[in-house]
């Protein structure tokens, strides 16, 4: 069984979805037969390498809400993250373009460490204030998660895996994916959003039963 997940490394709900998927798979009877592949999705493909200003102010502008309403949104997702063992520090967040991060995730998939790199990039951005659009920060995080530092530097200095990122994004459009996280199981089932583990468990069980019937 293959689970493909379209997500972005700066998306807190994607981090929550990843944590819930991990918890679901930990109790799934056929875990050893499940492969997870992280697919590229840029929440803002036009973002510059670095985006400045307070996170709450940017969120308020994005959704056309007041600063208090934006802070309430931040508090909600922070609490949801905490329930999954995640610490979100939006006061430290340094947003930026995530295209290079996605290129490194394709490299990580080829090297067998994609999930580790995915998690490290998310934690770096969401919890530690790493500048997600900065090549130096990306290289440090990726190397800490198991990628060869010199290879990471080489990829970041080239256009390697750019076509793979764009292919993922074309597939997302073909699937009419407009928000993330979005889970696709065996190209047969789609699950939108960071659903509770019971929902993920139900769909995985049904997909397994049909695949092995």
The pLDDT of residue 2 is above 90: yes
Mean pLDDT along residues 53-66? 94
Mean pLDDT for the stretch of residues 23-30? 97
Number of independent structural domains in the chain: 1
Q: How confident is the model at residue 145 (pLDDT cuts 50, 70, 90)?
A: very high
Cβ-contact 24, 197 below 8 angstroms: yes
Q: Across residues 101-122, what is the average pLDDT?
A: 98
Residue 102, domain CATH? 3.40.30.10
Among candidate residues 189, 201, 173, the one with its CA nearest the CA of residue 41: 173
Query: Average pLDDT of 173-189?
Result: 97
For residue 80, what are the contacts with CB-CB under 8 A and spacing of at least 6?
13, 16, 194
Where do runs of H (alpha helix) occur along the chain?
12-26, 55-63, 67-83, 99-110, 114-128, 135-144, 149-156, 162-174, 197-211
Q: Which domain holds residue 68?
A: 2-211
Residue 61: its pLDDT value, please?
94
β-pair partners for 6: 39, 182
Instruction: Indicate whether 77 pLDDT > 90.
Output: yes
In which order are the strands placed within the sheet that holds 2-7?
35-40, 2-7, 182-185, 189-192
What pLDDT is stored for residue 213 in this prediction? 81
Rounded mean pLDDT of 28-33? Answer: 96
Residue 161: closest CA among 101, 116, 114, 112 = 101
* Mean pLDDT estimate for the chain: 97
Confidence bin at 41 (pLDDT 50/70/90)? very high
pLDDT of residue 72: 97
SS3 40: strand
pLDDT at 92 over 90: yes
CA Rg, the chain, in Å? 17
Region 143-170: what's the mean pLDDT?
98
- Is pLDDT above 90 for 116? yes
> pTM, whole model, 2 decimals?
0.97
Q: Is the pLDDT of residue 163 over 90?
A: yes
The answer to whether the CB of 184 falls within 8 A of the CB of 17 is: no
pLDDT band per the 50, 70, 90 thresholds, residue 53: very high
128-153 mean pLDDT: 98
């Amino acid at each position: 069984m293959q689970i493909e997940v379209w997500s972005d490394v700066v998306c807190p709900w994607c981090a929550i979805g990843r944590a819930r998927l991990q918890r679901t798979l930990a109790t799934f009877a056929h875990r050893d037969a499940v492969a997870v592949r992280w697919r590229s999705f840029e929440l803002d493909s036009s973002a510059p390498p670095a985006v400045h200003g307070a996170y709450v102010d940017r969120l308020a502008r994005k959704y056309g809400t007041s600063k208090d309403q934006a802070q309430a949104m931040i508090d909600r997702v922070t609490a949801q993250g905490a329930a999954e063992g995640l610490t979100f520090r939006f006061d430290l967040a340094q947003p930026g373009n995530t295209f290079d991060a996605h290129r490194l995730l394709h490299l990580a998939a080829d090297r067998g460490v994609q999930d580790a790199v995915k998690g490290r990039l998310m934690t770096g951005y969401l919890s530690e204030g790493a500048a997600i659009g900065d090549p130096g920060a990306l290289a440090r995080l990726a190397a800490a998660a198991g990628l060869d530092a010199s290879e990471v530097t080489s990829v970041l200095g080239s256009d390697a895996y750019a076509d793979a990122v764009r292919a993922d994004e074309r597939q997302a459009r073909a699937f009419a994916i407009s928000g993330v996280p979005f889970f696709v199981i065996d190209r047969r089932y789609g699950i939108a959003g960071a659903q509770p583990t019971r929902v993920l468990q139900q769909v995985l069980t049904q997909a397994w039963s049909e695949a092995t019937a």
